[in-house]
Amino acid sequence: MKKKKRVSYAKYGYLFSLPFVLAFLLCMLYPIICTFIFGFTDLKTNINGEWHFIAGSDGGLWKNYKDLFSNELFRTSFLNTVKIWIVNFIPQILLALLLSAWFTNNSLKIKGKGFFKVVFYMPNIITAATIAYLFRSMFTYSAASMGPVNQFIGLFGADPVNWTNTPPYPQIIVAFIQFWQWYGNTMIVLISGILGISPELYEAASIDGATGTQQFFKITIPNLKTILLYTLVTSMVGGIQMFDIPLSFLNGMPDNTTYTASMFIYKQAFQGMKRYNLASAASMVMFVVIAFFSCILFFVMRDKDAAMIRKINKKAEKEFKRKMKEEGGMSA
Amino acid sequence: MSKNKLLTPESVTGKQKTKPIMVVIYIVCIFLALLSLFPFILMFMNATRASADVQANPIAILPGGSLAENYKNIMSRDFNPYTGFLNSIIVSVFSTILTCYFSTLTAYAIVVYDWKLKHGFYAFILAIMMVPNQVVSIGFFKLVFDIGLNNSLIPLIIPSIQAPMTVFFMHQYMVPSLSMEIIQSARIDGGKEFYIFNRIALPIMKPAIATQAIFAFVASWNNLFMPTVLIQDMGKYTMPMMISLMKGDFYKTNYGAVYLGLSMTVLPLFVVYFALSKYIIAGVSLGSVKG
């Protein structure tokens, strides 16, 4: 009878995950398949228009991909995305590591940790479009009015700079905004990682006379490896999709130096010529790049997760057996 | 934080001198705090100052007296924060409800029931966590067009039913906190499965739901990409889209009005953040799942 009961419960597992699966099929899988197919077609101008698979000598079915890789703007936009991401990520992870090392070191009694965390994290939840507009007005350069930044450097006798029109400043400013929005988030993730490291390791190290710096490099960093990788990959995946800030900040100007891959996809598909086919091919390229990096993370994390799940299952099983025994004993 | 107590000479004797490193730490932290706050202080202050004053000197830490005039100016053009606010509220509230409810339900299906495909299903959810919006956008745009829902807020809400990140978080939280005994005893009392989920599991998951609700709300509120793709009608613009209307000559000279417009787009977020910051910070460190 017990067995029969368990079998009848299994159907609820399927039933309760059905909404997720249906929404996934409709809102993700079907659209992705469409995008994939459009990448091999001549669909443009009108999303409801007729379309055909491309055939011919010029690349055949892969013509859109061939066009894409010879497209100057696509290459520039991808390269910009990578550049801006790197310039944002390196200082971000370094600062986050430094701050998290300070904030978790109990021999330094930092006051106001809670306040600092709240303030550092704050830019992360503010609408990126607003932040980009705000920064644009901060860097204003015109004869009639100099923005706050130019006024500020003027205090030190520096000449005003045309920030938004002088490469490489626009790229650096976009990278800075990304950095500024995300270091607080990264810091909090790293702090929770460091707090998860067994305190005994640190106790043993300080009894052996290791300094704070030594402990940081010999204990903290090696034990943070998974979390650091997680941060790296999630930041990279988010960085490749960078859209709101470059679009709202300078819309790709000047000379396409702030034009990113996401903006390329958006503008090809939904503005001007509406080349859905080329944009589809570009988004599939982005998909492959992200899938590649996600796979790395997935395989590294999987072992840990699986081990944890096994551990939990074992514990639950033991508990269950113990309970059964008790129950059996009671009824007997 | 106390979990990481160290046995250092200072902590044993209980006395310590102010180390020079502490000065460095406070200087860095205060500098970063100013860096976080200053742009917003500037924005809020300039929102109350006359455009001419802002033009002459944009750095101000005290408010001016031109709030009413700036308000009149910013409302005189396309930019309409109330329409944006209303549309964003509709999208964010419904998205948040759908995300929280169905993610908890999906996690419940995986944690509570034994079914053949459940391990594969969970691995699959982890795998689709990082699918970018850009890959979905063109196909989804076509789908939305085909069923005639373009310029509607509904396609911005429905996809929230499948939120892999939230399912992952709910799963992590549910495994240790939802005991099978409670469910078993509810079954013995004759509770139907769906009733047990709604009346017993959901209340137990409340803390996790609250955290995820904040993140789902903020993410939906700030989303720019999908609304920009799917919405053309200005009456359906969400708040982040409204910001893009602030271009053209009018906005190039009305500095005060522009700062006021920007302030209005983020004021609700500031209220939410400073009221709930404790939970938000806890949520970030707990989940470690937000990119």
In this prediction, residue B162 has a pLDDT band, given cuts at 50, 70 and 90, of: very high
CA distances from A321 to A308, A324, B80, B113, B178 (A): 20, 5, 63, 18, 18
pLDDT, tens only, B133-160: 888 988 999 899 889 888 889 999 999 9
In this prediction, residue A330 has a pLDDT band, given cuts at 50, 70 and 90, of: very low
With beta carbons under 8 A apart, name residues in chain A contacting B138.
31, 34-35, 38, 269, 276, 279-280, 283
More confident residue, A313 or A264: A264
Distance CA B41, CA B60 (A): 8
In which residue are the tokens 């009392």 written?
A: B189
**Most confident by average pLDDT, A62-66, A142-146, B163-167:** B163-167
Give the model's pLDDT for residue B288.
52
Residue B9: is its pLDDT beyond 50?
no
More confident residue, B78 or A28: A28
Least confident of A200-204, B48-52, B198-202, B216-220: B48-52
Cβ distance A17 to B131 less than 8 Å, yes or no, reads no
In this prediction, residue A321 has a pLDDT band, given cuts at 50, 70 and 90, of: low
Give the model's pLDDT for residue B15.
46
Q: Characterise A68 by phi-psi region: left (phi > 0), alpha (psi -120 to 50), beta (else).
A: alpha
Task: Check if A148 contacts B (Cβ < 8 Å).
Answer: yes
The amino acid that residue A62 corresponds to is W
Least confident of A112-116, A323-327, B67-71, B154-158: A323-327
With beta carbons under 8 A apart, name residues in chain B contacting A185.
284, 290
List, in sequence order, every residue forming a beta bridge with A141; answer none if it has no partner: A146
Residue A331: is its pLDDT beyond 70?
no
Query: Which of A329, A65, A11 lies closest to B117 in space, CA to CA?
Result: A11
Torsion angles phi and psi, residue B139, rounded to 5: -65, -40
Give the model's pLDDT for residue A4.
46
Q: Name the token pair of A75.
A: 């290459």
- Name, in order, each residue with C-beta under 8 angstroms of A293's C-beta and a sequence gap of 6 or more: A233, A236, A237
Residue A125: is its pLDDT beyond 80?
yes
More confident residue, A251 or B250: A251
In this prediction, residue A65 has a pLDDT band, given cuts at 50, 70 and 90, of: confident
- Name, in order, each residue with C-beta under 8 angstroms of B125's C-beta and a sequence gap of 6 or more: A20, B106, B164, B167, B168
Cα three-residue angle A163-A165-A171, rounded to 5 degrees = 70
Percent of chain A with pLDDT over 90: 23
| Shortest Cα distance, chain B CAs vs residue A83, angstroms | 19
In this prediction, residue A310 has a pLDDT band, given cuts at 50, 70 and 90, of: low
pLDDT, tens only, B186-215: 888 888 888 989 988 899 888 888 888 888
With beta carbons under 8 A apart, name residues in chain B contacting A99.
28-29
Contact B15, A107 (CB under 8 A): no
Percent of chain B with pLDDT over 90: 18
Give the model's pLDDT for residue B54.
75
What ipTM does the predicted assembly reach? 0.81
Contact B102, A23 (CB under 8 A): yes
Torsion angles phi and psi, residue A146, rounded to 5: -95, 140
Residue A145: is its pLDDT beyond 80?
no
Cβ distance A33 to B131 less than 8 Å, yes or no, reads no
| Shortest Cα distance, chain B CAs vs residue A127, angstroms | 5
pLDDT, tens only, A70-109: 888 999 999 999 999 999 999 999 999 999 988 888 777 8
Distance CA A232, CA A206 (A): 30
Cβ distance A130 to B240 less than 8 Å, yes or no, reads yes
| Shortest Cα distance, chain B CAs vs residue A332, angstroms | 21
Cβ distance B7 to A206 less than 8 Å, yes or no, reads yes
Distance CA A161, CA A122 (A): 29
The amino acid that residue B128 corresponds to is I
Distance CA A159, CA A167 (A): 17
Give the model's pLDDT for residue A316.
65
Distance CA B135, CA A291 (A): 12
Give the model's pLDDT for residue B10.
45
Task: Check if A248 contacts B (Cβ < 8 Å).
Answer: yes
Torsion angles phi and psi, residue A141, rounded to 5: -135, 110
Over residues A234-251, mean pLDDT: 87
Residue window 54-93, chain A: list those with CB within 8 Å of chain B. Answer: none
